[in-house]
């Protein structure tokens, strides 16, 4: 049996301390490597791959959109049921929303509207948009919760992605459009915050509508 004095004189304890330091250093190195590998795996699965998928989705959608001088044909995006559509398609020059899913976009960073355009349809009128659709639009201004707002509703008379049928006479459309605005204004009186959800919840049958704050152009509510 080796006495503690003999073991210490032989350098046993210093070697043991060095061994423990090496074990701790090795364990720490393994932990750092594991964290690095975990970070790389997380970046690949949670960041890089979704970005690659999104780029592929955007590229496929872009390949199906045909743009001329003034209009873009988005039929290939809307009518292709096998295509995973992008969240939205924005015209880079006019910032016109060419495509969005048939829901509102809460928290959408571009949720602003041209109030000059929205407020000019106090008399119903037809207008052709940059996605090739022809809309019949009607709007009214009102005050909700102390805020001046404009309510605009629209009916699609025809569009490239719909059956090519002759539009009904304007006289048959304008009356119902005014009724839709009246329905929305009534709902706004019951909910001054303007945050109404879906058209079906208020009986609105218009193809689209928007409620815009005239003070800052922010869209309070929209449905397409």
Domain ranges of the chain: 4-59, 101-223
- The DSSP result for 98-144, as a single string, is EE--SS--TT-TT-B--HHHHTT-SS-EEEE-TTS-EEEEEEEEEEE
With a CB cutoff of 8 Å and minimum separation 6, the contacts of 152 are 118, 119, 121, 137, 138, 139, 209, 210, 212
Q: What confidence tier does 198 reach under pLDDT thresholds 50, 70, 90?
A: very low
The pLDDT value given to residue 125:
93
Mean pLDDT, the chain, whole residue set: 75
Name the DSSP letter for residue 166.
Answer: P
- Which range among 20-29, 38-47, 149-158 shows the weakest confidence by mean pLDDT? 38-47
The pLDDT value given to residue 139:
94
| Dihedral over Cα of 30, 31, 36, 37: its sign | positive
Whether this prediction's pTM lies above 0.85 is answered by no
8 Å CB contact between 98 and 129: no
| Dihedral over Cα of 50, 55, 61, 67: its sign | positive
The pLDDT value given to residue 80:
73
8 Å CB contact between 138 and 181: yes
Q: What confidence tier does 197 reach under pLDDT thresholds 50, 70, 90?
A: very low
The mean per-residue pLDDT over the stretch 176-191 comes to 85
pLDDT in tens, 38-87: 767 666 566 655 556 666 667 777 777 787 777 888 777 777 777 777 77
Rounded Cα distance, 214 and 118, in Å:
10
8 Å CB contact between 65 and 72: yes
Rounded Cα distance, 211 and 204, in Å:
13
pLDDT in tens, 109-146: 667 788 888 889 999 999 988 888 899 999 999 888 78
The pLDDT value given to residue 199:
42
Rounded Cα distance, 117 and 123, in Å:
13
Rounded Cα distance, 175 and 180, in Å:
9
- Which range among 48-62, 87-101, 175-189 shows the weakest confidence by mean pLDDT? 48-62
Q: Where is 216: in which H helix or E strand?
A: none
């Amino acid at each position: 049996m080796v006495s503690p004095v003999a073991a210490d004189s032989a350098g046993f304890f210093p070697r043991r301390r060095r061994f423990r330091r090496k074990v701790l250093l090795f364990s720490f190195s393994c932990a750092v490597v594991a964290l690095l590998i975990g970070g790389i795996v997380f970046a690949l699965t949670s960041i890089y791959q979704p970005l690659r998928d999104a780029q592929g989705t955007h590229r496929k959608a872009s390949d199906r959109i045909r743009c001329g001088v003034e209009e873009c044909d988005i039929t290939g995006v809307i009518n292709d049921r096998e295509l995973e559509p992008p969240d939205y398609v924005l015209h880079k020059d006019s910032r016109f929303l060419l495509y969005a899913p048939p829901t509102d976009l809460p928290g959408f960073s571009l949720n602003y509207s041209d109030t000059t355009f929205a407020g000019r349809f106090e008399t119903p009128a037809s207008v052709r948009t940059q996605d090739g659709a022809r809309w019949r639009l009607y709007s009214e201004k009102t005050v909700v919760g102390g805020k001046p707002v404009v309510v605009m509703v629209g009916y699609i008379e025809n569009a490239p992605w719909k059956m090519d049928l002759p539009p009904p006479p304007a006289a048959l459309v304008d009356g119902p459009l005014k009724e839709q605005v009246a329905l929305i204004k009534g709902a706004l009186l019951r909910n001054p915050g303007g945050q109404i959800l879906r058209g079906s919840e208020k009986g609105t049958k218009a193809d689209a509508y928007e409620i815009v704050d005239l003070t800052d152009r922010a869209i309070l509510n929209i449905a397409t």
